[in-house]
């Protein structure tokens, strides 16, 4: 059993522990055309019961870990996951689905909570991600946590993928004040 994953204002809860209210918000986030565009998918049109069944089944895969993100008031604000976990690396995905919480630092806090788990508990050596070049907010947020850009690739759909990664050592050695370091112990 893993200790609750927290960092500053956010708490990450495994998908299996989410209540119906959180699932209704996930359903809304997956149907949102802007969020779908940012993720390179079409807006999801499934009924809630089917989406829930599929995401729960996906989250039980051994190469995947999916969490709901909660703010300091206990409100559900999005999802974050590690997928394609193979040997010592994984890929990270995040959706802060509540626009009220964009540009307020919740994304980097949730990523930090998950990287701490990835590097300290799971022993991963590298976490990768990809985002679209026009998603400047995402790139800024990922850079704040220490991700660095590795390459850009054209997608078959004509968009540009920015591939980023962070290594365990870079994360452990990231610049921190003594107070930040103490708060994390």
Give the integer Cα–Cα distance in Å for 113 and 117.
Answer: 7
Cβ at position 123, least distance to ligand COA in Å: 25
Nearer to ligand COA (CB atom), residue 14 or residue 93: 93
Contact 110, 75 (CB under 8 A): no
Cβ at position 143, least distance to ligand COA in Å: 9
**C-alpha to C-alpha distances, 123 to 7, 32, 118, 159, nearest whole angstrom:** 19, 35, 6, 33
119 in contact with ligand COA (CB under 6 A): no
Q: Which of 59, 3, 4, 72 is nearest to 26 (CA)?
A: 59
Nearer to ligand COA (CB atom), residue 96 or residue 166: 96
Cβ at position 37, least distance to ligand COA in Å: 9
Token pair of 15 as six digits: 């998908």
128 in contact with ligand COA (CB under 6 A): no
Q: Which of 7, 30, 106, 147 binds ligand COA (CB under 6 A)?
A: 106
Give the integer Cα–Cα distance in Å for 34 and 181.
Answer: 37
37 in contact with ligand COA (CB under 6 A): no
Q: Which residues make beta-bridge pairs with 129?
A: 164
12 in contact with ligand COA (CB under 6 A): no
Instruction: Using CB under 6 A, list all residues that contact ligand COA.
Output: 35, 38-39, 78, 94-96, 102-108, 131, 135-138, 140-141, 144
């Amino acid at each position: 059993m893993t200790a609750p994953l927290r960092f500053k204002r956010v708490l990450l809860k495994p998908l299996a522990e989410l209540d119906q209210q959180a699932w209704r918000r996930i359903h809304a986030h997956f149907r949102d055309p802007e969020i779908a565009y940012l993720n390179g998918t079409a807006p999801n049109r499934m009924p809630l019961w089917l989406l829930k069944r599929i995401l729960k089944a996906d989250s039980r895969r051994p190469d995947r870990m999916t969490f709901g993100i909660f703010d300091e008031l206990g409100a559900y604000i999005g999802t974050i996951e590690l997928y394609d976990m193979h040997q010592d690396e994984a890929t990270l995905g995040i959706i802060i689905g509540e626009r009220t919480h964009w540009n307020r630092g919740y994304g980097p806090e949730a990523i930090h909570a998950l990287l701490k788990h990835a590097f300290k508990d799971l022993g991963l050596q590298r976490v990768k991600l990809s985002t679209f070049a026009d998603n400047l907010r995402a790139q800024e947020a990922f850079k704040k946590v220490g991700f660095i850009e590795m390459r850009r690739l054209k997608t078959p759909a004509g968009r540009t993928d920015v591939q980023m990664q962070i290594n365990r050592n870079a994360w452990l050695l990231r610049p921190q004040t003594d107070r930040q370091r103490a708060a994390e112990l």
